[in-house]
Amino acid sequence: MSTTRSSTTTSSSSTNNQTSSSSSSTSNPTSQHPPPSARRVVVPAPRSPTPPPPQPPSSTTVAPRSSSTRRSSRLSALLSLLVLLPLFIYLPWQTSKAHFALPKPKTELYDVRTGLPQLSEKAILEHARVLSEDIGFRTVGTREHALGDKYVHEQALRIQKECEDIIKKAPTRKLECEVFRQEGSGTHRFDIVGKPVFKVYENLSNIIIRISNGTPAGKAHALLLNAHVDSTVPSPGAADDALSVGILFEIARNLVHTPGWEPAHSIVFLFNNAEESLQDGSHLFATQHPLANLVRAVINLEAAGNTGPEILFQATSEEMIQAYAQVPYPYATVLANDVFQSGIIMSDTDFRQFEEYRNLTGLDMAVVGDSYFYHTRKDVVKNIQPGVAQHFAENVMAIVKHLTSPLGATNVLSGLAREVTPPSSIYFSVVGKYFFL
């Protein structure tokens, strides 16, 4: 555009000059014209566009809110908070309540609607009452300890007799119940708080029940359930561990009396007589009983309290974590497993002996609520919260059926004889109903 503008200006100037020259020539013919080279054309420089003037600030202004408007806003916020506050309180309360909820205790041995056997908390606590109150302190080597051993042996023989009577009525049913009373002596090293303790025990006894389908194949692989009969010096041991003894007896009774139930793998119930003396009874079984060679996994039942749901605090393989996922009332977290195995908690269970001497995988489960009753004179049946025994028993029963029943269609136990998968899952339970892996 600048070139076009310059040319136009030049032409106009030339025309003007010629007109002026012509006029001058006419008026004054004698005047001299300047040479063409002396002509100078002035081209005006292009003008830069003028920036628009700055816009004045908007004349719109926000009027300050009145005090009544501010009070209204505060009132609305307060009303919203008051509406939501019950929700903020109710939801956590309900979640916590569901998380620690226990099932309703069952008192009858048989379901009144179906006629089938059911796990009875009343029957479990009766075993615990006899051991902890009728017999009392069952410290290893005492008269009460011997009476506890006698009571457990009699109950085992009673279950065997009931089993034999059932088989007579249903001779085609594949079911066999055996009772063993192990006696022996031994030595072992026990490390506690970083210090070695060398133990010697003599003439110790264990009571053992094996339930199987009676075939060599059915006896080739076994699931071990363990509870200890003895108690520590100042405690009658209702929860620790007479409660677990009662649970094992009730599970055995329930399985035997269930019509048509036949285990694909055998179940070994170990009532060991010396846990509080640094796990002598479990060591005796693990190192000297022939059935120990057939065990592929162990579930250890313990107590360090009297209330609340039992917690899974040790799980040593992926297979057993998957088995725990079958329980109706899960209460577990991988954090509990990590904390216990870190050694922070100065406690231990029979699980150590099975892991150390038999290299067994398994689950370690215990009641831990209100642990101030643990190892005290207040560890009696009346202080065991209603529902604790029911919760514990039904969870263990679900795992037992999953691992041993043909209906479960699992080959976990036989597979564990070949290979054990180390635990790698992060698991936790939510509101006592859902188990996540």
pLDDT, tens digit, 9 for 90 and up, residues 329-368? 999 999 998 888 877 777 899 999 999 999 999 999 999 9
Spatial neighbors of 159 by CB under 8 A, at least 6 apart, are: 177, 179, 209, 249, 252, 253, 256
Q: Which of these is catalytic: 121, 275, 310, 319?
A: 275
pLDDT number for residue 16 = 41
How far apart CA 251 and CA 272 sit, in angstroms, is: 17
Which is it for strands 311-315 and 266-272: parallel, antiparallel or unpaired? unpaired
pLDDT of residue 163: 98
Lowest model confidence (mean pLDDT) among 7-16, 84-93, 171-180, 211-220? 7-16
Q: Looking at residue 94, what is its pLDDT?
A: 80
Strands (DSSP E) contained in 137-265 are: 176-192, 195-212, 222-228
Comparing 42 with 94, the larger pLDDT belongs to 94
Which tens digits make up the pLDDT trace of 76-116? 888 888 888 888 888 888 878 777 899 999 999 999 999 99
- The more confident residue out of 107 and 36 is 107
Whether residue 408 has pLDDT greater than 70? no
d(CA 390, CA 307): 12
Q: 47 pLDDT exceeds 70?
A: no
> How many Å is the Cα radius of gyration of the chain?
45
Please tell me the distance from the alpha carbon of residue 36 to that of residue 384, in angstroms, as a whole number. 127
pLDDT band at 75 (very low <50, low <70, confident <90, very high): confident
Distances (CA, A) of 61 to 57, 58, 64, 70, 73: 10, 8, 9, 19, 21
d(CA 236, CA 377): 6
Rounded CA-CA distance 85/4 in Å is: 80
Would residue 183 show up in a list of annotated catalytic residues for this protein? no
Q: Is 0.85 surpassed by the pTM of this model?
A: no
pLDDT in tens, 217-233: 999 999 999 999 999 98
